[in-house]
Amino acid sequence: MKIRRAMAVIMMCASLCACAQAKSDDSFVKDGVRYTVTGEGTVGASKISDKNTPKGKFVLPSTVTHGDVTYRVTSISHWGFFGCDKMTELVIPESVETIGMFAFTSSKSLTKAVVKCSRAKIDAAIFSGCENLTEVQFAEGVTSIGERALEETGITAVKLPSTLKRIDGSMFTRCAKLRRIEIPEGVEEIGSYAFSCCDSLVDVKLPSTLKRISHNAFSSCAGLKDIKLPEGLATIGDNAFCACKGLTRLHFPSTLEEIQGNPFQYCSNLTELTMEAGGRNFRLDRGVFLNGDGTKLLFALPSLNLGDYVVPEGVESINGSAFYGNNSLTSVKLPRSLKWIGSAAFHNCHNLKTVELNEGLEEIGDKTFYSCGSIVSVTIPGSVVRLGQNAFDFCSGLREVNVCEALASDNQNFNQWTFGFCDSSLRIKIHDANGKVTEKKVDDLYDPKQHMFHEDVHP
């Protein structure tokens, strides 16, 4: 909603700018296009108005003459041809050096676009929302195509220029008909959400030059069944393959240096992860991934049958979302070495019944045990100095919590939202330094003055 409001404001500003240009001596109209002088002998192009736009096949000229001056067409303005519903084909000439953001966004009738300008700077979302656009040709020489360039278009396949250096964020988001993509050699990074929600994507070929797959790059690509990660890949971002339910196995290259968060949340059929011989940055424990020296627990696949799991001694931190949604996990015992548990580490582990939190633990992140409805009792060690917001939210089976007086008296760490939406029968047992125990109901933590509606109220 915020994005839509922002777009509406920008569109209004763009319309006002267009009106101002219409009154300027530096603007003229020719052959159904408005041209605005941008420099000595150069002009930028845009539509005349929302009601007067190009029709059918539109070939933007490389030069245009007005009076006794011939200008080179070197740019297409921001929002220049936004919403041109009668344009069916488009050709952008070699002369163009800059294509502004949202230049052809929501041109619903556009089916084909040929971008001949090989050295153009292409800004964000140029073809975003062109739902009938099935064919796009980019000239060799283009190094960047811009974020959201082809999101929500109708393309089924596209040949990308060999000069491309990166796939920008959200470039193909929600391209529901995209079935295959070959990313050219030379590309080193796939941006965040680049192929997110491409439901029909089944075939992806990654280049040997690839170094980084950013967060959510292939999230919700339900049809993706196999992908080969190349040697040379160094980083996989959080949720990079989230909800890729077609994936069953994946092989990590020996060059992998960093795994951020949990790249495989909701990959319910991914049962096999293997590593190339020679890789020293990671290791496996019953299918759970740890860093090379065993001090960080990175993630466990939701499909792993963990049952009663003992976190290995030496682990000092558990990544956020590490066990997210693993319904085979029934109990977890933490090592004396553990200092920190990340946000949502055990979120939605519905069958987790027993948690043994270790003395020496210092921080429990936000929503760590959110919606773990089978936990009945928990003891929070006196070493804990931060208990995250909503840490035990929606733990409907929780009946007893043991906690030291120092933590219980800290309203920033211990309040109604720590145990939000727990059963009213939950009892909080507060232990002081002398061993005296004071019992409170969970409702006693409720302060009407602090009460507010939280957006996230569902497990």
pLDDT in tens, 287-308: 899 999 999 999 998 888 999 9
- Residue range 257-283: average pLDDT? 89
For residue 448, what pLDDT is reported? 46
Which tokens in the block code for residue 337? 């070495």
Taking the C-alpha atoms of residue 354 and residue 425, their distance in angstroms, rounded to an integer, is: 19
Specify whether the CB–CB gap between 345 and 366 falls below 8 A: no
- Residue range 259-277: average pLDDT? 89
Specify whether the CB–CB gap between 345 and 318 falls below 8 A: yes
User: What's the half-sphere exposure (Cβ side, CA atoms, 13 Å) at 36?
Assistant: 19
For residue 114, what pLDDT is reported? 97
Q: What are the chain's domains?
A: 23-153 (3.80.10.10), 165-280 (3.80.10.10), 287-459 (3.80.10.10)
What residue has token string 């001056």? 69
* Residues 287, 292, 295, 297, CA torsion sign: negative
The separation between the first and the last C-alpha atoms of the chain, rounded to the nearest angstrom, is: 23
DSSP letter, residue 42: E
Polymer length in residues for the chain: 459
* Segment 148-174, tens digit of pLDDT: 999 999 999 899 999 999 999 999 999
Taking the C-alpha atoms of residue 360 and residue 383, their distance in angstroms, rounded to an integer, is: 5
Specify whether the CB–CB gap between 118 and 141 falls below 8 A: yes
CB atoms closer than 10 angstroms to residue 450: 11
- Residue range 17-39: average pLDDT? 75
Specify whether the CB–CB gap between 263 and 240 falls below 8 A: yes
Q: Across the chain, what does the average pLDDT equal?
A: 90
| Buried/exposed 347-368: b ≥16 CB within 10 Å, e otherwise | bbbeebbebebeeebebbbbbb
pLDDT over threshold 60, residue 194: yes
Specify whether the CB–CB gap between 380 and 373 falls below 8 A: no
Specify whether the CB–CB gap between 176 and 200 falls below 8 A: yes
Kindly report the three-state secondary structure assignment for every residue of 50-105.
CCCCCCEEEECCCEEEECCEEEEEEEECCCCCCCCCCEEEEEECCCCCEECCCCCC
Specify whether the CB–CB gap between 327 and 303 falls below 8 A: no
CA angle, 286 then 287 then 290, to 5°: 95
**H/E segment holding residue 11:** helix 2-22
Contacts 24+ apart (CB under 8 A), 130-134: 130/104, 130/105, 130/106, 130/154, 132/108, 133/107, 134/177
Structure-derived torsion over alpha carbons of residues 192, 194, 196, 200, reported in degrees to the nearest 10: -160
For residue 312, what pLDDT is reported? 96
For residue 301, what pLDDT is reported? 86
What residue has token string 């055990």? 346
Of 384 and 11, the one with more pLDDT: 384
pTM (two decimals)? 0.85
For residue 457, what pLDDT is reported? 38
Which has the closest alpha carbon to 114: 99, 129, 131, 101?
99
For residue 154, what pLDDT is reported? 97
Task: Report residue 376's pLDDT band, with 50, 70 and 90 as the boundaries.
Answer: very high
pLDDT more than 90, % of the chain: 77
Which has the closest alpha carbon to 45: 19, 67, 71, 20?
71
- Residue range 229-258: average pLDDT? 95
